[in-house]
A and B are shown apart, each in its own frame.
Chain A
C-alpha cells in the first residue's frame, strides 16, 4: 500500500489543490495516502483491521527512516553550533 513512498513529503506545491484522502471515521482529509494511514493508526487504533495495521506498520517504518535522516542532520547542526560558538567565545570573550 505504501511501501514505495516515504511518509515525508516535502512541501511540494503542485499537490496542493484539494486533500482527497478522507478518513471515514472522523472526516479529516489528507494529501497523501501515507498520512491517512498514519492518522488512522494514531487516532483510531481500535477500528483498524489486520491489513490496516500492516499498512500502518509499513508507513511507520518508512517514516522512521526519514526521521533517522533528520536526526543525522540535526546532529550535524548541533555539532556546528557547538564548535561555532566555542570559537566565537575563544575570539570574543576577553
Chain B
C-alpha cells in the first residue's frame, strides 16, 4: 500500500512526457539542464519508494494495535515520527521540481466537458426541490420518527448522508450544495436585501457559524437525539431564510452561511467545477493553486484572461480562518472521541471545572493554536527570505493548501463510518416515512482502518504540492519559493503528527456528553 496519492503519480507520468519534449513557451524551461532534471526525478521516485516502505510498516502496526495485543508492533511515537518524516521528505522532494513550466502545466490543466447550461438549470431546479424535500423530511421525521439514532431518518441522513457522504462528494467530485440549497432557491425569487451586508464583517460570520455548528454537533447530543436534531435543522433553516431576506441572497450565502462556506471550501478541492459557464475537469486539488501573478494572468494557451480576484477562494484572514477551522474541527472531534482525550477531559473536570467550560476552552483554544501556528509560519517565512510580500499575503496564498489536508482528515474520520452506515442510509432514503424494521450496519475488515493513515498522509502530500505550486506563483526566484516553504512544512508536520496520533487511538464516547 503506497501512501502516495493518484494525482502525485499522474505528475510523475507527466514529468516523463515533459522530459521527452523540450518545453516551449516560458523562457525558464528551455534553460534548465536536462540531465539534472532526469536525475532529480529518478531520485524523487527512489525517495518515494523508500518512504513507502517505512509507512507500510506503520500501517501494519496500527492495524495490530487496534485489533490485538500480540505480535509485531512499533511504538506509537515511531509511527507518528515516520508520518512526520514522510511529510518533511516529500517537501524536500517537491523542492527538486524546479521547472516552472511543468509546475504551471500541472495545475493549469483543464478539460472542458462542454457547455450544458440547460442541463445545469434543470439540475439546479431538481436539486433544490430535492434539498427542500430532504430538509422537510429531516425535521418531520426527527420529531415523529422513532427516537433511536441508528434508525431515525433525520440522524442517518444528516450525519451519514450530509456530514459524511455529501462532504466527500464535495471534495472528491464537485460541490453539490449550490444545486441542493433550497434556501437560496427560495430567497433568490423573493425581494431581499433590506439592508446592505456590512462589508467590514467579511466572512467572519461564516467562521463563527462553522465553529458554532461543530460545537452543537459535539456537545449538545444532536447525534443521538432526533428531536433535538430536528429542532437544530429547523433553527438553521429559519436563520438562513431570515438572513438571506435581510442582507440579500448572494451576500448571505457567500459571507455568512456556514453550510455554504463549508461546501464551497471543500468543493474547491474537487476536480469538477463550473468555470465561466462551462463544466471543466482539472487534476484533483489543483484548482487550489490560484493566480497570484501581479496582474490578471493570461493563460498561455487559449489567451483567456482570468480575473484573479473574483475567482479566488481565499481573499483575507477570514477565509484563512475558515480553512484552519475545517482542519481543526476534525482534529477536535477526533480528540474528544478517543479514550485518551476523554480521560484528559475527565482529569481536568475532576479538578472542579464544569465539563462544558473545559470543552469550550479546548475547542476555541485549539483553534487559536492552529490558526496562530499558520500565521506564525508566514511571519517566519517572510523574515527568512528577501521579499517585499507581507506575512498576510503569504497566509492568504497558502491557506488553500490546508483544504486538501482537511479533505484527507475528513476521509480518515468519515470514510469507514460512511461505508458501514451505507445500508442504513439507503434503507431510510428508500422509505422515509417508516423506520427500517431491520437496520443493517456493515462490519468492515480491519484493513479499512489502515486506509486512514493513507488518507491523512495523502492529503498532506498533495497539500505540499499545492503549496509548492503556489510558492512558484508568488516568488520570482525558485530558491525563494523553496525556502518560503520550510516554516509551513514544519506546521504541516505538526498537524500530521497530531492527526496520525489521534487516528491510532481507540475511540470512545466523549466524556460527560454521551
- A31 CA to B387 CA in the complex, in Å? 7
Q: Given contacts A57-B31, A70-B479, are A94 and B388 in contact (CB under 8 A)?
A: no
Is the pair A94, B476 in contact by a Cβ cutoff of 8 Å? Answer: no
Q: Is the beta-carbon distance between A11 and B100 smaller than 8 angstroms?
A: no
Find chain A residues with CB under 8 A from B75 CB: 92
Q: Closest B residue to A21 by CB, please name it.
A: B388
> Cβ of A56 and Cβ of B27 under 8 Å apart?
yes
Say yes or no: B89 contacts A81, CB within 8 Å. yes
Asked whether any CB of chain A lies closer than 8 Å to the CB of B386, the reply is yes
Contacting residues, chain A, for B57 (C-beta < 8 A)? 89, 93
Contact partner of B386 (CB less than 8 A), chosen from A12, A38, A63, A78, is A12
In the assembly, what is the distance between CA of A29 and CA of B386, in Å?
11
Looking at chain A's contact residues, the main secondary structure is helix
Q: Among A32, A74, A94, which residue has the most Cβ atoms of chain B within 10 A?
A: A74
- Mask, B90-114, CB within 8 Å of A = 1, is 0011011010100000000000000
A75 CA to B43 CA in the complex, in Å?
8
**Chain A residues within an 8 Å CB radius of B19:** none
Residue of A nearest to B98 (CB): A67
B78, A77: Cβ atoms closer than 8 Å: no
Residues of B within 8 A of A53 (CB): 27
Interface status of B478 (Cβ within 8 A of chain A): yes
Tell me, in angstroms, the Cα distance from A1 to B257 when the chains sit together: 54
Measured CA separation A7–B358 after assembly (Å): 51
Scan A36-63; emit 1 where CB is below 8 A from any B CB, else 0.
Answer: 1011011101000000010011001101
List of A residues within 8 angstroms of B95 by Cβ: 70-71, 74
B386 touches A67 (CB 8 A): no
Is there an interface contact between B388 and A31, defined as CB atoms closer than 8 Å?
yes
Does B372 interact with chain A (Cβ within 8 Å)? no
A45 to B383: give the CA distance in the assembly, Å: 29
Tell me which residues across on chain A come within 8 A of B477, comparing CB atoms.
7-8, 34-35, 38, 63
Contact A7 B479 (CB under 8 A): yes
Are A11 and B384 in touch, CB under 8 angstroms? yes
B54 within 8 A of A: yes
Contact, CB under 8 Å: A78 / B295: no
Query: What residue of chain A has the Cβ atom nearest to residue B71's Cβ?
Result: A94
Give the Cβ gap from B392 to chain A, nearest Cβ, in Å. 16
B506 at the interface (CB under 8 A from A): no
Contact of B476 among A25, A39, A82 (CB under 8 A): A39
Check if A64 sits within 8 Å of B74, measured CB to CB. Answer: no
| Chain B residues, CB < 8 A from A32 | 386
B40, A71: Cβ atoms closer than 8 Å = yes
A18-37, CB < 8 A from B: 19, 23, 25-32, 34-36
Within 8 A of A (CB), among B421-464: none
B28 at the interface (CB under 8 A from A): yes
Which chain B residues border A77 with CB–CB below 8 Å? 92
| Bound CA span A75–B40, Å | 10
B37-86: which residues lie under 8 A (CB-CB) from chain A? 40, 43, 47, 50, 54, 57, 61, 72-75, 78, 81-82, 85
In the complex, chain A residues whose CB is within 8 Å of the CB of B72? 93-94
With A and B bound together, what is the CA distance between A52 and B478 in angstroms? 19
Contact status B294-A41, CB under 8 Å: no
- Establish whether residues B293 and A11, one from each chain, have CB atoms under 8 Å apart when the complex forms: no
In the complex, chain A residues whose CB is within 8 Å of the CB of B40: 71
Report A-chain residues with C-beta under 8 Å of the C-beta of B482. 67, 70
B348 within 8 A of A: no
In the bound complex, residues from chain B placing their C-beta under 8 Å from that of A74 are 92-93, 95-96
A-B contact pairs, 6 of them (CB 8 A): A31-B386, A41-B27, A42-B28, A42-B476, A89-B74, A89-B78
For the complex of A and B, the 6 pairs showing the least CB-CB separation, nearest first, are A39-B476, A26-B294, A38-B476, A19-B388, A74-B92, A31-B386
